[in-house]
């Protein structure tokens, strides 16, 4: 794994026995602000000063642990939304809170160790950005409050016993993206109704792979579609999958919801364009990077809501009394530039239903 930035003996990047990168708030802030400039994102808004109890003023600021599966490069834009929610409530990293980041760089097996590091650090709250991160945090602690923003069902994942009454140290946002493959397949069929064979790329290491497989299978039968499913969990697998799609002359592509694919967007976008495959993805960020279409919830909105959960816990609420929210903001985005590049005319009815069209 490559380190992010130069190694430093104090400040910046530290080296732990597990060789995990420990990112300070300053380092992530630089990444976030860099992305915000490119995307013309609004700068953080400073909130009102919090009136801390006298006893709290003599103590060190509480530490929030961020447990991510991918990398700061992948998550920086979303982290900006998370931190903005904190800042608007008066909590600023480096002033009255500290945020420590742990990233597994796409390696699920590293998450338990990273979660354990945050527990040993005695953080006040852990924020988990994926389902597998949340599961790792659950195995690491039953007492530290954990806020999640995940695509899976938190009840089926064993994180909470109820959405209304979580009943544990966990709460957060669920956007059920792993259960939306049928919707994405339906949109792809509307885009290319005459395609004989649709390719599907799924990650077998995703803990909800079986659910995705079932979702795609049921939807393909309902739509009377032939779907070629290829499994990929690393760069080599992705390359081989596209080679297979090319050999079979597939006419369209569904890329399943998965954090690893999100972290490797170029590897699933570029070959689809090269093969002139109409493709649909889970997040709008795929479309911003050149993908054709996406349908899913808004990650920036989910991270903002997660930030609000952290604020409420910092102010004294307990996770057990904070109902899990289900994300209700869905986005259907189309990239017309990509459609033109692959020689595709987007049907008018899809254009009219799109929440945003990228020219």
Residue closest to 24 by CA, chosen among 82, 99, 112, 129: 99
| Residue 177, pLDDT above cutoff 80 | no
Q: Are 273 and 320 in contact (CB under 8 A)?
A: no
Question: Higher confidence at residue 259 or residue 347?
Answer: 347
Read off the tokens for 16. Answer: 């732990």
Return the bridge partners of 23, or none. Answer: 101
Q: What is the pLDDT of residue 107?
A: 87
Question: Higher confidence at residue 12 or residue 125?
Answer: 125
- Please write the tens of the pLDDT for every residue from 262-297: 889 999 999 999 999 999 999 999 999 999 999 998
Between strands 146-150 and 197-202, the pairing is unpaired
Q: pLDDT band at residue 19, thresholds of 50, 70 and 90? A: very low
- Please write the tens of the pLDDT for every residue from 195-213: 999 999 999 988 889 989 9
How many Å apart are CA 110 and CA 180, to the nearest integer? Answer: 28
Q: pLDDT band at residue 153, thresholds of 50, 70 and 90? A: confident
Q: Which CATH number fits domain 178-297+331-358: 2.60.40.1120, 1.10.260.40, 1.10.3660.10, 3.40.50.2300?
A: 3.40.50.2300
Q: How far is CA 28 from the centre of its chain?
A: 16
How many Å apart are CA 162 and CA 324, to the nearest integer? Answer: 8
Q: Give the lowest-confidence range in 167-176, 181-190, 275-284.
A: 167-176
Q: Give the lowest-confidence range in 90-94, 238-242, 255-259, 276-280.
A: 255-259
pTM (two decimals): 0.75
Torsion of Cα atoms, 45 then 48 then 51 then 56, to 10°? 10
Q: What is the pLDDT of residue 151?
A: 82
Backbone phi, then psi, for 230, in 5-degree steps?
Answer: -120, 140
Q: Counting runs of H as helices and runs of E as strands, what totals does the chain give?
A: 14, 15
Q: What is the mean pLDDT of residues 42-69?
A: 58
**Helix or strand or coil: residue 94?**
coil
In CATH terms, the superfamily for domain 14-176+298-329 is Response regulator (3.40.50.2300)
Q: Would you list the DSSP string of 99-133?
A: EEEEE-TT-GGGHHHHHHHHHHTT-SEEEESSHHH
> Looking at beta carbons, which pairs linking 73-76 to residues 24 or more positions away fall under 8 Å?
73/4, 73/31, 74/262, 74/263, 75/103, 75/129, 76/28, 76/31, 76/32, 76/34, 76/35
Q: What is the pLDDT of residue 224?
A: 94
- Please write the tens of the pLDDT for every residue from 27-39: 555 555 554 443 4
Q: What percent of the chain has pLDDT over 70?
A: 82
Ranges for all domains in the chain classified under CATH 3.40.50.2300? 14-176+298-329, 178-297+331-358
150 DSSP assignment: E
Q: What is the pLDDT of residue 124?
A: 97
- Please write the tens of the pLDDT for every residue from 95-127: 999 999 999 988 889 999 999 999 999 999 999
Average pLDDT, the chain: 85
Q: What is the pLDDT of residue 51?
A: 34
- Please write the tens of the pLDDT for every residue from 308-333: 999 999 999 999 999 999 877 789 99
**Helix or strand or coil: residue 11?**
coil
């Amino acid at each position: 794994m490559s380190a992010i930035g130069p190694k430093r003996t104090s400040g910046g990047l530290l080296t732990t026995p597990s060789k995990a990168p420990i990112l300070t708030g300053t380092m992530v802030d630089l990444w976030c602000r860099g992305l915000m400039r490119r995307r013309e994102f609004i700068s953080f808004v400073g909130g009102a000063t919090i009136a801390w109890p006298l006893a709290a003023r003599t103590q060190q600021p509480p530490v929030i642990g961020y447990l991510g599966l991918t990398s700061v490069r992948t998550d920086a834009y979303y982290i900006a939304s998370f931190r903005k929610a904190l800042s608007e409530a008066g909590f600023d990293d480096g002033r009255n809170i500290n945020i420590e980041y742990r990233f597994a760089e796409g390696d699920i097996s590293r998450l338990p160790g990273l979660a354990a590091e945050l527990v040993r650090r005695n953080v006040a709250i852990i924020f988990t950005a994926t389902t597998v991160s949340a599961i790792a945090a659950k195995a690491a602690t039953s007492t530290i409050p954990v806020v999640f923003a995940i695509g899976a069902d938190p009840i089926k994942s064993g994180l909470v016993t109820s959405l209304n009454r979580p009943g544990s140290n966990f709460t957060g946002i669920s956007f059920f993206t792993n259960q939306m493959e049928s919707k994405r397949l339906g949109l792809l069929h509307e885009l290319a109704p005459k395609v004989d064979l649709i390719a599907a790329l799924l990650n077998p290491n995703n803990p909800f792979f079986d659910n995705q497989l079932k979702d795609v299978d049921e939807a393909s039968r309902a739509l009377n579609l032939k779907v070629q499913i290829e499994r990929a969990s690393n760069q080599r697998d992705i390359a081989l999958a596209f080679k297979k799609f090319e050999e079979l002359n597939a006419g369209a592509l569904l890329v399943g919801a998965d954090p690893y694919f999100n972290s490797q967007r170029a590897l699933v976008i570029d070959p689809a364009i090269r093969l002139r495959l109409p493709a649909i993805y889970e997040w709008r960020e795929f479309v911003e990077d050149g993908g054709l279409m996406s349908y899913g919830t808004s990650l920036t909105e989910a991270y903002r809501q997660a930030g609000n959960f952290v604020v409420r816990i910092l102010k004294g609420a307990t996770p057990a009394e904070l109902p899990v929210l289900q994300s209700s903001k869905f986005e259907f985005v189309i990239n017309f530039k990509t459609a033109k590049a692959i020689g595709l005319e987007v049907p008018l009815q899809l254009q009219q239903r799109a929440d945003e069209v990228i020219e």
